[in-house]
A and B are shown apart, each in its own frame.
Chain A
Amino acid sequence: MSFAAPFALFALLAVPVVLALHLFRRRYQPRRVAGVFLFAPDAMTARAGRTRTPLVRSPSLWLELAAAAALALWLAGPRLFAFGEPTHLVVVLDDSASMAARGRDGATFAERARRAVRAAATAAGRDAVVTLVRSGPRPTVWLGPRAPMATLDHTLAAYAPKRTHHDVEAALGLARELGGRDATLLFVTDGEAESPPRGFAQRSVGEPLANAAIAHARRVRRDGGERLFVDLLAFAPATMSTELTVREVGTDAVVATRRVELANGKVARFELDLPASDAALEVRLGEDALALDSSCLLLAEPVRRVRIGVRLPAEAARALELGHAVRALGETVALAVGDDADLLVRDASGTAAGAEAVVEVVVAPGAEPVEAWVGPFLLDKRHPLLRGISLEGVVWSAGQPAAPGRGLVFAGERALLAEEHLDGERLRVTLDLAPARSNLTTSPDWPILLSNLVAAARARLAGAAQVNVRLGDAITWRRRRADEGQDLRLLGPSGAASLGVGSRVVTFEPVEAGEHRLLRGDEEQQRFAVNFVDARESDLRTCAAVELAAEPLPVADVEAKARAEVRGERERQALALLLLLLVALDWLVLAPRTGAEARA
């Protein structure tokens, strides 16, 4: 025996309730009298709680107990026979953001999708079971597998599509696996199609709509102020006119507003010079079909200044021209005081003891005999430290021995520049170079190399590398050494919290757009702005309303399906009849008593 809605068995709690009612029922002996008005002032007026009285095993008690049990069983939808497998409806819901678009009738595609799923559920029958699969980069089983149909509405109410563009094939495959052979498969989306996915019926609930979107937005500190870059994109049959507004979050002050005309499919770039501010900015477009891509939150990016420490003899430091390089890098670097350096440059005879540097550059002129190379040099061009470096015209002199570690620059088989990863985190770069006999430090490649080293050090600084991210990208947070082992939570705008992955570098994958807060315990560490930017989801021109039936099933499957549609109905009908009979009998049992009381 199985049940279509096993949760309804909780209704069996009505049985003890009936017992309790009978146990605590105050039994009044009926008596017909003349002149009741003389007793009326003493009528019961809820004086005290009722007390337990001996249980009278009356026919009414048994009938009411049986009726309560029958009602619970009827609600639970029992099936007594082997062929009583319920209809299994497997629905794949497109969770991409375009489903949040609002149609011309005022209803969103998501609302239409809910109606479509409910209609399919109704057609499947009350006893059917349902599985909801939500599409996404990693599809998820949202309801079920094989959940009672009664739970469908509650789950559907929470359907708020907001994911970036993704391939739905993974979700369809998952649905096929969950459905097996007999399930009814339904794919609810908004796109046009000529044929449904294999085995699925498809219901497209969209319609072609014009839409403007923010394709890119960035704020950059520049010359004491800020410059805001905004790329806009329109998907419309004709030129779209909308308004671009920039507001300061918190004060709600309008920083800039501009009327824009957007040509179909062409990116329109706007640059706005703004005063420097640490306040968050909101970039917003006028109202259109899809609200999700019409606003963008931009937080002020934190300044991640790299402190450079030098432990070289004065002559060697001058030969390396470090001062010039640091000045060229501007405000993003600073010379460190004492051991407080993120990037330490030292010679081979010194040590890094006491320093907390995340990148260590060892300049090792080496011992005699010193060799010199004019090329060709073999470079690992994909390595970030060598990005933009060509070493053309460079004379490189180096002594013995060769640089330890993984070689990045070679002259023949001799490694001139090598890297070593210490503790899995810190980077040691050994520069096998005799500056006095080389022209590397005066070549254009030298500041580029130093800049790459600074970038490597900056990438290893604690905190967030980026606070404005796109939905679909990961948020990374590098812990300080002292913070390792403490739990970090990312709190989304909806209040949903997610735990990060990783020990030193913690990664979060936000699933909704909006402002997120990174918390360590209850202490806020950083705020992040997650913005929805996805041109493929913003393009609603190809949305359509289509209804495609699944490919016909083999005859045997159709018959099995027909049997499945009536299964469980016989039991329910019998229980309904039994329930009515019990209620009628109870009424017949009680009616004479009531009549007698009236006559008494």
Chain B
Amino acid sequence: MPVAADPAAGLWRLSWPRQPASGQAGTRLGRAAGASLEFLDTRDYVVGDDLRHVDWRAYARTDQLRVRLFREEVAPALDVVLDTSASMAVTAAKAAATDALRAAFVFWGERGGARPRVYETPDLAPRTPLRRDGVRVVLSDFLRPDDPQPTITRLATGAALLVVVQVLDPWELAPTADGALALVDCESSQRVELVLDEAAVARYRERLARLCAGLVTATRRVGGRCATLAAAPLAEMCRGGLLPAAIVEAA
């Protein structure tokens, strides 16, 4: 049994999709026929079928040999795509929150038998292909000026479920009116001098809200789940962000 690095992780578990998944044999029902106890369908008998699965009652009624099929039990893959760009470590709190979420998702995956795998990438484009029909979790701040829809679509392609977790520093979510600032982009080194007053803060929050709304829309289009978190202790992030977004549920 895996042990969580953060005790709070043990209080939650990943909310797996209702839609049956595929994968190696495991503990969760798959989409294909298998050896579980859950009935899936019947079909004509062919040589080599397990005689124990022949529906003898139907044979008695119809004189046709029919075989009962059951759902397979699989262990779905969990791919965690982790944004390792400099913006994810722009503050210590944001970096800590990212690390905590990464560890928690790995823990939840292991506990669910999902064989989690972490893909570290600075541009949300993993060098190695993601596994098909698995659950994919994307940890990023998505603070990019371009439209997130293509990225989301690409990450969702071939996945059973896409979970998007946007991690932001509290100041990024709600900056304070700190006066004259020289803001330097931690990735592009672009320098912007401005006076951050209440009005500027309000305009910034409006633009950020549009960015987050776009991210939610893009995720919903591919049937995924999305949560925007302020960097905080894991328990607070689970309770305040991941739970309402149906990404985790109580263990």
Measured between beta carbons, the chain A residues less than 8 angstroms from B188 are: 36
Asked if B208 contacts A31 (CB within 8 A), the reply is no
Q: Could you tell me the dominant secondary structure of chain A's interface residues?
A: mixed
Given contacts A35-B172, A38-B143, contact A600 B193 (CB under 8 A): no
Distance (whole angstroms) from the CB of B21 to the closest CB of chain A = 34
Residues facing A in B173-192 (CB within 8 A) are 178-192
Asked if B172 contacts A33 (CB within 8 A), the reply is yes
Does any Cβ of A come within 8 Å of B87's Cβ? Answer: yes
Query: In the bound complex, how far is the Cα of B71 from the Cα of A157, in angstroms?
Result: 105
Stretch of A4-12, A22-30, A112-120, A373-381 with 4 or more beta carbons under 8 angstroms from chain B: A22-30
Does any Cβ of A come within 8 Å of B213's Cβ? Answer: no
Asked if B192 contacts A40 (CB within 8 A), the reply is yes
Measured between beta carbons, the chain B residues less than 8 angstroms from A599 are: 184
Distance (whole angstroms) from the CB of B175 to the closest CB of chain A = 9
Asked if A35 contacts B182 (CB within 8 A), the reply is no
Measured between beta carbons, the chain B residues less than 8 angstroms from A44 are: 193-195
Distance (whole angstroms) from the CB of A354 to the closest CB of chain B = 92
Query: In the bound complex, how far is the Cα of B50 from the Cα of A407, in angstroms?
Result: 172
Q: Which of B143, B184, B196 contacts A597 (CB 8 A)?
A: B184
Query: In the bound complex, how far is the Cα of B172 from the Cα of A34, in angstroms?
Result: 8
Asked if B184 contacts A32 (CB within 8 A), the reply is yes
Measured between beta carbons, the chain A residues less than 8 angstroms from B189 are: 598
Residues facing A in B104-144 (CB within 8 A) are 141, 143-144
Measured between beta carbons, the chain A residues less than 8 angstroms from B183 are: 31-33, 36, 39
Asked if B179 contacts A29 (CB within 8 A), the reply is yes
Measured between beta carbons, the chain B residues less than 8 angstroms from A33 are: 90, 172, 183-186
Does any Cβ of A come within 8 Å of B220's Cβ? Answer: no
In the complex formed, the residue of A with least CB distance to B187 is A34
Measured between beta carbons, the chain B residues less than 8 angstroms from A29 are: 178-182
In the complex formed, the residue of B with least CB distance to A28 is B182
Stretch of B6-14, B23-31, B55-63, B199-207 with 4 or more beta carbons under 8 angstroms from chain A: B199-207
Given contacts A29-B180, A29-B182, A30-B182, contact A35 B195 (CB under 8 A): no
Interface string of B138-156 (1 = CB under 8 A from A): 0001011100000000000
Given contacts A29-B180, A42-B204, A43-B192, contact A34 B87 (CB under 8 A): yes
Query: In the bound complex, how far is the Cα of B79 from the Cα of A158, in angstroms?
Result: 86
Asked if B192 contacts A600 (CB within 8 A), the reply is no
Distance (whole angstroms) from the CB of B6 to the closest CB of chain A = 24
Asked if B180 contacts A27 (CB within 8 A), the reply is yes
Asked if A35 contacts B194 (CB within 8 A), the reply is no
Query: In the bound complex, how far is the Cα of B191 from the Cα of A40, in angstroms?
Result: 9
Distance (whole angstroms) from the CB of B113 to the closest CB of chain A = 35
Given contacts A35-B141, A35-B172, A597-B191, contact A28 B181 (CB under 8 A): yes
Distance (whole angstroms) from the CB of A36 to the closest CB of chain B = 4
Distance (whole angstroms) from the CB of A40 to the closest CB of chain B = 5
Asked if A34 contacts B203 (CB within 8 A), the reply is no
Given contacts A29-B178, A34-B87, contact A39 B172 (CB under 8 A): no
Asked if A31 contacts B184 (CB within 8 A), the reply is yes
Query: In the bound complex, how far is the Cα of B186 from the Cα of A37, in angstroms?
Result: 12
How many positions in chain B have a CB within 8 Å of any CB in the partner chain?
35
Query: In the bound complex, how far is the Cα of B92 from the Cα of A32, in angstroms?
Result: 12
Does any Cβ of B come within 8 Å of A338's Cβ? Answer: no
Asked if A38 contacts B204 (CB within 8 A), the reply is yes
In the complex formed, the residue of A with least CB distance to B189 is A598
In the complex formed, the residue of A with least CB distance to B145 is A37
Interface string of A576-600 (1 = CB under 8 A from B): 0000000000000000000001111
Asked if B184 contacts A598 (CB within 8 A), the reply is yes
| Most A Cβ at <10 Å: residue of B189, B193, B196 | B193
Asked if B203 contacts A41 (CB within 8 A), the reply is yes
Query: In the bound complex, how far is the Cα of B109 from the Cα of A57, in angstroms?
Result: 58
Q: Which of A34, A38, A40, A41 contacts B90 (CB 8 A)?
A: A34
Query: In the bound complex, how far is the Cα of B191 from the Cα of A39, in angstroms?
Result: 10
Measured between beta carbons, the chain A residues less than 8 angstroms from B88 are: 34
Given contacts A32-B186, A43-B193, A44-B193, contact A38 B181 (CB under 8 A): no
Measured between beta carbons, the chain B residues less than 8 angstroms from A39 are: 183, 192, 194, 196, 200, 204
Q: Which of A40, A41, A43, A600 contacts B184 (CB 8 A)?
A: A600
Does any Cβ of A come within 8 Å of B32's Cβ? Answer: no
Measured between beta carbons, the chain B residues less than 8 angstroms from A34 are: 86-88, 90, 141, 143, 169, 172, 185-187
Asked if B178 contacts A36 (CB within 8 A), the reply is no
Q: Which of A26, A41, A597, A600 contacts B180 (CB 8 A)?
A: A26
Distance (whole angstroms) from the CB of A46 to the closest CB of chain B = 11
Measured between beta carbons, the chain B residues less than 8 angstroms from A35 are: 87, 141, 143-144, 172, 185, 208
Query: In the bound complex, how far is the Cα of B193 from the Cα of A27, in angstroms?
Result: 10
In the complex formed, the residue of B with least CB distance to A38 is B207
In the complex formed, the residue of B with least CB distance to A33 is B183
Measured between beta carbons, the chain B residues less than 8 angstroms from A31 are: 178, 181-184
Measured between beta carbons, the chain A residues less than 8 angstroms from B141 are: 34-35
Distance (whole angstroms) from the CB of A26 to the closest CB of chain B = 6
Query: In the bound complex, how far is the Cα of B87 from the Cα of A597, in angstroms?
Result: 16
Does any Cβ of A come within 8 Å of B222's Cβ? Answer: no
Asked if A28 contacts B193 (CB within 8 A), the reply is yes
Measured between beta carbons, the chain A residues less than 8 angstroms from B192 are: 36, 39-40, 42-43
In the complex formed, the residue of A with least CB distance to B144 is A35
Does any Cβ of A come within 8 Å of B211's Cβ? Answer: yes
Measured between beta carbons, the chain B residues less than 8 angstroms from A26 are: 180
Interface string of A81-123 (1 = CB under 8 A from B): 0000000000000000000000000000000000000000000
Residues facing B in A489-507 (CB within 8 A) are none
Query: In the bound complex, how far is the Cα of B80 from the Cα of A101, in angstroms?
Result: 92
In the complex formed, the residue of A with least CB distance to B192 is A43
Asked if B182 contacts A597 (CB within 8 A), the reply is yes
Distance (whole angstroms) from the CB of A33 to the closest CB of chain B = 5
Distance (whole angstroms) from the CB of B143 to the closest CB of chain A = 3
In the complex formed, the residue of A with least CB distance to B191 is A597
Interface string of A150-193 (1 = CB under 8 A from B): 00000000000000000000000000000000000000000000
Query: In the bound complex, how far is the Cα of B32 from the Cα of A145, in angstroms?
Result: 110
Measured between beta carbons, the chain B residues less than 8 angstroms from A36 are: 183-185, 188, 190-192
Query: In the bound complex, how far is the Cα of B90 from the Cα of A158, in angstroms?
Result: 67
Query: In the bound complex, how far is the Cα of B196 from the Cα of A38, in angstroms?
Result: 12
Measured between beta carbons, the chain A residues less than 8 angstroms from B145 are: 37
Closest 7 CB pairs of A and B: A34-B87, A35-B143, A28-B182, A36-B185, A37-B145, A42-B200, A34-B143
If A34-B86, A34-B141, A37-B190 are given as contacts, then 20 extra A-B residue pairs at C-beta distance below 8 Å, sorted by A number, are A26-B180, A28-B180, A28-B181, A29-B178, A29-B179, A30-B184, A31-B184, A32-B184, A33-B90, A33-B186, A34-B88, A36-B192, A38-B208, A38-B211, A40-B190, A40-B192, A42-B196, A42-B203, A43-B193, A598-B184
Sample (11) of A-B pairs whose CB atoms are under 8 Å apart: A28-B182, A29-B179, A31-B183, A33-B186, A34-B88, A35-B144, A35-B185, A38-B204, A39-B196, A42-B196, A597-B184
The interface of chain B, by Cβ under 8 A from chain A, is 86-88, 90, 141, 143-145, 169, 172, 178-196, 200, 203-204, 207-208, 211
The interface of chain A, by Cβ under 8 A from chain B, is 26-44, 597-600
